[in-house]
């Protein structure tokens, strides 16, 4: 994006993560988050919920649960959608 002269923020990060998860490229979405965490951007509730949804879609339930718990430790309090996403993945 930088090469194209476009700026990016948490909102555009969420779009990227959502697109990658929707086409079953969750590992790439997780790698993108790892790179972003080294910078200024802080993933928000939407980012984490989208990643959890993607992990559940790929039947990576243990990873989804770990991410859910880790984000709570980082101060990102889950909402009804986040809980619903994890519960749906567990069913």
> pLDDT digit string (tens) for 3-56?
455 566 778 888 888 999 999 999 998 888 777 767 766 778 888 999 999 999
Number of domains into which the chain is organized: 1
Residue numbers of the domain that contains 17: 10-90
pTM for the full predicted model = 0.68
Per the domain annotation, does 5 fall within a domain?
A: no
Q: What is the pLDDT of residues 59-85, one digit of tens each?
A: 999 999 999 998 888 788 889 999 999
Dist. CA 60–CA 2, nearest whole Å = 32
Domain holding 59: CATH number?
Answer: 1.25.40.10
Per the domain annotation, does 60 fall within a domain?
A: yes
Per the domain annotation, does 16 fall within a domain?
A: yes
């Amino acid at each position: 994006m930088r090469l194209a002269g476009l700026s990016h923020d948490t909102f555009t990060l969420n779009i990227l993560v959502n697109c990658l998860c929707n086409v079953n490229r969750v590992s790439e979405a997780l790698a993108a988050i790892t790179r972003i965490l080294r910078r200024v951007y802080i993933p928000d509730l939407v980012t984490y919920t989208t990643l959890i949804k993607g992990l559940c879609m790929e039947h990576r339930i243990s990873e989804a649960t770990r991410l859910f718990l880790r984000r709570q430790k980082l101060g990102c309090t889950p909402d009804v959608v986040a809980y619903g996403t994890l519960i749906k993945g567990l069913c």
